[in-house]
Amino acid sequence: GGISWDLLHELDYQKYTSVRYDYILLPQRAQSNTTRLRWWQPFTVANGVVKPDSDRAQWALENILIGGAEINPSQLVDTFDDEGLSHDENWSFYPNAVRTAGFCGNPSFHLYWPNKKQDKAHNILSTRELIVQPGYMLQFKIVVGCDVDSCGDLHSVHLEYTKDARTETWYLIQAECLPSSSNNVGCSPFQFHEATIYSSVNSSSWKRITIQLPDHISSSATQFRWIQREGGEEKQSWGIDHVYIGEACPKFCSGHGYCTTGAVCICDEGFQGA
């Protein structure tokens, strides 16, 4: 008997001399309730004898996700409040994040990146693949750098999307479109907005962001991410709360409420209707 192993992918050391991202679709034969995966670097074998080899290439792995679905979900709702719920079903990765309450005066639970270490790691909140259709919206709360005195832009947070998880190419959901940008081919006439980039300059206190997603983002496997890219100097702390991606609520809740499951508005105190 024993265990038989089938080769799924070979990581040739000549192609991985720098950090590289892999996205591997599991073949049908690997989809079972007893499947094991392993990363294995073989020894040198000569004349049937295994020989230690001190020259074997060193290697490392991180951010491993095994999962997915035949049909991706068409909505994401996460307030980070429910203690007993697993939030992992909504997100692929959120390195260095802490689920907490009270950061920058927010009493409800949220995700928070303290950034106490001056390292070269990206801070990311990345969704799973989602079905995104025309007429969808994205809503969330964000704060960046509320606990610092300077107004400098120390590693802003970018909101991006991709429609192909096999690539490392991500795009801003919205580029900057101001009256002075009228000649920009990516801007629609008389529709002005800032880029989906957040820093202590524009988000130093908790701020609700509501975005009507452009139709070109629609696909059966769209992913979104908030990313604060690496840097040698100290990065500003930031937090995310009340994330909704799905069918647009009526009038986007008129700017006075949160959209939730079923495209229903939860109105702010003192407001009613949509």
pLDDT along the chain (274 residues), means of 10: 83 84 87 89 71 74 83 94 73 90 94 79 92 97 84 81 92 87 67 88 94 95 93 80 96 94 93 73
- Give pLDDT, residue 2: 74
Count Cβ neighbours within 10 Å for each residue of 48-64 and write b for 16 or more, e otherwise.
eeeeeeeeeeeeeeeee
- Distances, alpha carbon 133 to alpha carbons 130, 136, 215, in Å: 10, 6, 7
Question: pTM of this prediction?
Answer: 0.83
- Give pLDDT, residue 232: 57
The span from the CA of 146 to the CA of 236, in Å, is 8
The span from the CA of 241 to the CA of 77, in Å, is 10
Write out the two tokens for 184.
Answer: 């920009």
The span from the CA of 193 to the CA of 214, in Å, is 13
- Phi and psi based region of residue 80 (left: phi greater than 0; alpha: psi -120 to 50; beta: remaining): left
- Give pLDDT, residue 1: 55
